[in-house]
Amino acid sequence: MSSYYFTIIGTRDNPLYEVEFSSFKPSSSSSSSAISSSSAGSNQPHIPGKSQFTPKVREILPFIANSSLDIIEDSQWSTNQFNLGRIDSFYGLLVNAFITQGNIKFILCYDNPSNASSSQKYDENLIRQFFIDVNDLYVKCLLNPFYSVNDAIISSDFDLKVKLLARKYL
């Protein structure tokens, strides 16, 4: 079961929104769930959706996301795609990115659950779909007259909707 760190970065490289979560899908084999529960601490019950990053990794997640901004800015003027796909990896953490017309960057860092290459294509498509739907939410938020570009998104409804999308796709 993989954990995810999703962030929206504004045009001034400022974070607008961040969230950590893990895959909501129940892990297929009982052995992998045993590993994850033991790593989270045996006295704590497993909460579906709670990110499983170790404290050490959690600390550097924003740095990983921000360091990939350079790569995004390099490729943003050479490709006309919204979804930039997988752009970076950092010691087993993979980084996918998406950029909107208005230069807002969506970055998703996640640890690789399995090394099976067959499921990777599938994952990429799901992440793309996730980004597209978050873009839809972002535009809805943007159209709110009480929100202006580069403000932090503190709406609890937005947060809920993003997490619901996470549950749906990832």
Partner 1 sequence: MSNNDNDIILASATSLSTLTINDISKDGFGYNPSVGPQSNNITQETSNYLLSKRTTSITSPNSIYDKSIINKKTNEISLSSLSFLFCEIVNWCHKSSKGIQDLETRLNGLGYTVGQKYIELIKLREGFKTNKREIKIIEMLQFIHGIFWKSIFGKTANELEQSQDVSNEYMIIDNSPLMSKFISIPKEYGELNCSAFIAGIIEGALDSSGFFANVTAHSMAIPGFPLRTVFLIKFDESLSIRESLRR
What are the residues binding partner 1 (CB under 8 A)? 5, 7, 11, 15, 17-21, 24, 45, 47-51, 61-62, 76-82, 99-104, 132, 135-144, 146, 148-149, 151-161, 163-164, 167
Nearer to partner 1, 70 or 159 (CB): 159
The residue written with tokens 């990896």 in the block is 89
| Integer angstrom CA distances of residue 3 from 25, 54, 70, 74, 92 | 11, 10, 24, 27, 12
Minimum distance from residue 77 beta carbon to partner 1 (Å): 5
Burial label for 66, CB within 10 Å (0-12, 13-18, 19+), is middle
Minimum distance from residue 154 beta carbon to partner 1 (Å): 6
Nearer to partner 1, 91 or 146 (CB): 146
Strand 93-99 to 105-111 pairing: antiparallel
Nearer to partner 1, 45 or 92 (CB): 45
| Integer angstrom CA distances of residue 38 from 48, 52, 87, 165 | 14, 11, 32, 27
Minimum distance from residue 116 beta carbon to partner 1 (Å): 26
Residue 20 has which token pair? 């950590």
Please give the sequence-ordered ranges of beta strands (E in DSSP) within 75-124, or none if there are none: 83-90, 93-99, 105-111
Nearer to partner 1, 77 or 117 (CB): 77
Computed on alpha carbons and rounded to an integer, the radius of gyration of the chain in Å comes to 16
Minimum distance from residue 18 beta carbon to partner 1 (Å): 4
Minimum distance from residue 164 beta carbon to partner 1 (Å): 6
Nearer to partner 1, 126 or 132 (CB): 132
